[in-house]
Chains A and B, each alone.
Chain A
Amino acid sequence: MSDSYKHMLEVASRFNKSVKRLNEGVKRQLKKMIEELLNGQHSGKSLKGPYREFKVVRIGKYRLIYSDKEPCKIVLHDIKHQEITYI
């Protein structure tokens, strides 16, 4: 168990779908960020209003949305790509 993370990780279906669309480079960066979250080395900023329990960290042009409201547990909810909409 010595290589276990400090926190337990849970993965939501939305995250699972989003991660499949990422290229290998982004996946590597994402894994590093998740490990930092799981080891308590990094913390994101809270969203607003009804979603304030969700936090965001930036990974290049991607934003990882997660929550940590329960002790010792990180839940990954979504990855959103930053994009400028052209109608």
Chain B
Amino acid sequence: MSVSVVVNPSPTIPYSSTRITVFRELLDHLRSYVKSVLEDPKNIEVVVQELLKDQNALKLLYRASKEVRKISWSDWLEALKSFYALSERFKDVGIDVKDAFDIIAEHDMWKLQQIRKNFDKYADMFFDFSVNYPEDANRYIIVYMSVFLLLIATIEARSLEKLRALGEELNRFAEELELYTLTFMIGMDESWEKELDIVATARTPEELRREIE
């Protein structure tokens, strides 16, 4: 009996790993992408486009995202501290990334809260967003994954010049990420559109002052 052997160039990744193994596998798998980002941080979007075509990377990201949901809140707070500690790396390169880090933290912590507390509603909102606005949804994935790879690259960066370039890109993508954070927040807030009725008008500085005070 002859046996044909099929060599699969992209072997299926088993789904039985522990959390640490999953994260380690993911980071190992992303190493070549991170290297590309470090070579030319401005090329990040091209790298992300390649990453999104990589089935194994997507499987690992999916598994890692499922593991992330199981992390205890105290471990999350520790992770948040480590995340902010990473921003210290930019202190010597003359780039202010404080706002960018706050935006990223706000986005992730809010999203985590929705996933934990309002999963069905969040999933519905995100599904509607993806179906009705596929270009914006696609751009969101690019922005989010760019931030993700830039942060990993920040850990690996060894020169001030690279850090500066990574910081500039982080600032650029964080600014865009914030627009998605607000969009999703409004999308989850049922009262938001009900409170858009006009209650006052102003045309002069005096009228404006009255409205602000």
A51 contacts which chain B residues (CB < 8 A)? 182-183, 186-187
B208 contacts which chain A residues (CB < 8 A)? 5, 9, 31, 34-35, 38
Count how many chain A residues have C-beta atoms less than 8 Å from C-beta atoms of the other chain.
42
- Evaluate contact between B183 and A48: CB separation under 8 angstroms: yes
- Evaluate contact between B179 and A50: CB separation under 8 angstroms: no
A43: Cβ under 8 A from any B Cβ: no
C-alpha spacing A47/B117, complex, angstroms: 24
Which residue of chain A lies nearest to B114 when distances are taken between CB atoms in the complex?
A85
Mask of B170-199 contacts with A, CB within 8 angstroms, 1/0: 000001001110110111000010011111
C-alpha spacing A86/B113, complex, angstroms: 8
| Distance from A32 Cβ to chain B, minimum over Cβ atoms (Å) | 10
Return the contact of A17 from the options B139, B178, B195, B200 (Cβ within 8 A).
Answer: B195
Return the contact of B132 from the options A45, A49, A65, A84 (Cβ within 8 A).
Answer: A49
B26: Cβ under 8 A from any A Cβ: no
A14: Cβ under 8 A from any B Cβ: yes
| Chain A contacts with B in 1-39, Cβ cutoff 8 A | 3-5, 8-14, 16-17, 19, 27, 30-31, 34-35, 38
Interface residues on B, range: 35 or more
B212: Cβ under 8 A from any A Cβ: yes
B202 contacts which chain A residues (CB < 8 A)? 5, 8-9, 11
A82: Cβ under 8 A from any B Cβ: yes
Stretch at the interface among B50-58, B104-112, B148-156: B104-112
Which residue of chain B lies nearest to A83 when distances are taken between CB atoms in the complex?
B106
- Evaluate contact between B200 and A63: CB separation under 8 angstroms: no
Return the contact of B180 from the options A17, A48, A65, A87 (Cβ within 8 A).
Answer: A48
Can you report 27 residue pairs joining A to B where beta carbons are below 8 Å apart? A3-B205, A5-B208, A9-B203, A9-B211, A11-B199, A11-B201, A12-B196, A12-B199, A13-B195, A14-B195, A17-B195, A27-B212, A30-B212, A35-B208, A38-B208, A45-B179, A47-B182, A48-B133, A48-B180, A49-B132, A63-B182, A75-B198, A82-B102, A85-B106, A85-B110, A87-B73, A87-B116
Q: A9-B207, A85-B113 are in contact. List 8 more A-B contacts (CB 8 A).
A: A3-B205, A9-B211, A12-B197, A13-B196, A13-B197, A19-B211, A51-B186, A84-B109
The 9 closest A-B pairs by CB, nearest first: A14-B195, A49-B133, A9-B202, A11-B200, A48-B183, A48-B136, A85-B109, A12-B196, A47-B183
Chain B residues engaging chain A, CB cutoff 8 angstroms = 73, 77, 80, 102-103, 105-106, 109-110, 112-113, 116-117, 129, 132-133, 136-137, 139-140, 175, 178-180, 182-183, 185-187, 192, 195-205, 207-209, 211-213
